[in-house]
Amino acid sequence: MQRIRLLKDRIARKLMLSLTIFSGLIVFIMAFGLYQRSRPILAIKPLNELLFSTSWQPSSGKFGFFPFIMGTLWVTGVAIFIAVPLCLFTTIYLSEYSGARLCKWTNPLIDLLAGIPSVVYGMCGVLVIVPLIKDHIAPFFGTFSSGYSVLAGGVILAVMIFPIIIHVSSEVFRSVPAELREASLALGATKWQTVKHVVIRKAMPGVIAAIVLGLSRAFGETMAVLMVAGNVAKVPSSVLDPAYPLPALIANNYGEMLSVPLYDSALLLASLVLLMVVLSFNIISRIILIRVERNIR
């Protein structure tokens, strides 16, 4: 009987280990599959030409990803620019100033933002943000905009990444030892001076990791951005110009025009580039968080 129990335990352990390894390899399997499907276009055109060319004319065999890469960077940059200060001050208040009752009501609302489907965010952007930019913001700056712009995509993305940055930052703030706060207050520092010079300084690497996680989330978002960014294959020159991010390019075009030579391969190469960027952001944030945990201990 003892042997059977030990055998079952050994089988269960090896089965769970195999499933764990498989789960970890899924990303690399996906990357390998995308690379294999991207090889036809890589065999004909150099990678630097594909990444830095501004001409996107699939019917003529021109596949320049630069407008889409820049569109992604513009929209993501605006989202981070809007989200970081709002999330940082929200985290500081919830972690250092607010009471337990307010946190009890606030945290579920922040969690709710993470659970709302991206298409709902897109619809809200089309109904609220786009008209606001077209009728008020663009005329205020003396220019014209259809409303479908980098700014619209950035605002929607900023709201979508709020929960990620706030939750990770809150955990980092809570992990700062209370003794550091007490020592600062004992020396005569005010509450804000303690937060500014002690808590934020100690938690800054973790906050950076939270921002990087939010960046990777924003970089790969598809539906909401597709609905409000304008989808014009042109490098934006301002936040009021339309943009065409890489995820929107893939979602809009995959399955169409696949009779065009290399079109399928080009879109899968775009998917591979997107996957590698998001994977890099997540690895960087994980390394930063590990270092923060070691320093705090």
Decide if 131 is inside a domain.
Answer: yes
Residue-level pLDDT at 82: 92
Residue 252: φ, ψ to 5°: -75, -35
Residue-level pLDDT at 129: 92
Burial string for 189-216 (b: 16+ CB within 10 Å, else e) reads: beeeebbeebbbebbebbbbbbbbbbbb
Decide if 13 is inside a domain.
Answer: no
Decide if 187 is inside a domain.
Answer: yes
Angle at 248 between CA 246 and CA 252, to 5 degrees: 125
Decide if 278 is inside a domain.
Answer: yes
Decide if 51 is inside a domain.
Answer: no
**pLDDT tens string 142-195:** 888 888 999 999 999 999 999 889 988 888 888 888 888 888 888 888 888 888
Residue-level pLDDT at 297: 58
Decide if 6 is inside a domain.
Answer: no
For the chain, which residues score pLDDT lower than 50? Answer: none
The SS3 of residue 97 is: helix
Residue-level pLDDT at 147: 86
**pLDDT tens string 97-113:** 887 788 788 888 888 88
Angle at 249 between CA 233 and CA 66, to 5 degrees: 50
Residue-level pLDDT at 281: 77
Which residues lie closer than 8 Å to 217 by C-beta, 6 or more apart?
Answer: 160, 161, 164
CATH number at residue 280: 1.10.3720.10
Decide if 125 is inside a domain.
Answer: yes
Distance CA 13, CA 40 (A): 42
